[in-house]
Amino acid sequence: MTNGAVSVNLDAMTTDVGKPRTVGRRTLAGETALVVGIAVGLSAARSVLDFAYAAGAPGGLRAGSATIVGSLAPGRPWIDLGLQVVSLAGLALPALLAAHLTRRSAGTVAVIGLSRDRWRPGVVAGLALAAAIGGLGLAAYLVSRAAGLSVTVVAASLPHVWWSSAVLVLAACANAVLEEAVLVGYLLYRCRQLGWPDWRAAALSGGIRGAYHLYQGLAGGLGSLLMGLVFARIYQRTGTIVPLLVAHATIDIVAFLGYAELAGHVGWLPTAGAS
């Protein structure tokens, strides 16, 4: 130390560069909780409160509505587009953070189910999964809303401008990446590192997913819980999230674009304000 300055040993700092660091269970658990909390935890808590508010409001859940992708600056399309891009980035960044932390500790993102050699079979399996889950989900929503147990879900409410379809597709993909990369691949991989049994980890993942979608009502919450349990077991048995990404993105793309085209034109699809 000279003249109050701190002497730094650069050789000591660079000796272990590139080598995976071993972290304790508490550090690993804290990191996992922070990533999941930032990605979906706060939104899940808000969703539970939204459900409680809608259930206790005059008219109950039947009178409520929830918009998934709506205008963020009505009447100002360019500012709206900018806000949509920022919102999409907010969905993507937690997934990128999870991938970064995984690569830093494990050296590869294949451990959270993102392996390049699984894409081709994963696409086929994902499309089949989307057809099965998407059809059941729509039926459950319609029955649940008719019974007064769900709010009216407005899947898409964007102005008719040139970028609306592209934003809807990107939003579907961003939602899929956020939930499957963080809530399935990253969370379940970390749970295994922490020594959790698979059933407990799957229950945690599915429970958070269910709470995250509870703002849609009971059909959205329970349906997402069951979907989360199925998706968790698929990852635990196969080690890939590719089919889950494809299935989730496909379901949301069909829901968003389909709602934008059909809302107000077919009688069986509920719209906001309908009794």
pLDDT tens by residue, 39-50: 999 999 999 999
Alpha helices in 160-275 (DSSP H): 164-177, 187-193, 198-212, 218-238, 242-262
Mapped onto helix, strand or coil, the DSSP state of residue 95 is: helix
The answer to whether the beta carbons of residues 66 and 215 sit under 8 Å apart is: yes
Predicted model pTM = 0.87
pLDDT of residue 265: 85
Q: What is the DSSP string of 112-170?
A: GT--GGGHHHHHHHHHHHHHHHHHHHHHHHHHHHHTT-BPEEEEEE--SSTTHHHHHHH
Query: Model confidence at 5, in pLDDT bands (50, 70, 90)?
Result: very low
Residue 111, helix vs strand vs coil: helix
Which tens digits make up the pLDDT trace of 166-221? Answer: 999 999 999 999 999 999 999 999 999 999 999 999 999 999 999 999 999 988 99
pLDDT given at position 271: 83
Per-residue pLDDT tens digits for 14-27: 344 445 556 688 99
* pLDDT-above-90 percentage for the chain: 74
Contacts of 160 (CB under 8 A, 6+ apart): none
What span, in angstroms and rounded, lies between the C-alpha atoms of 44 and 167? 23
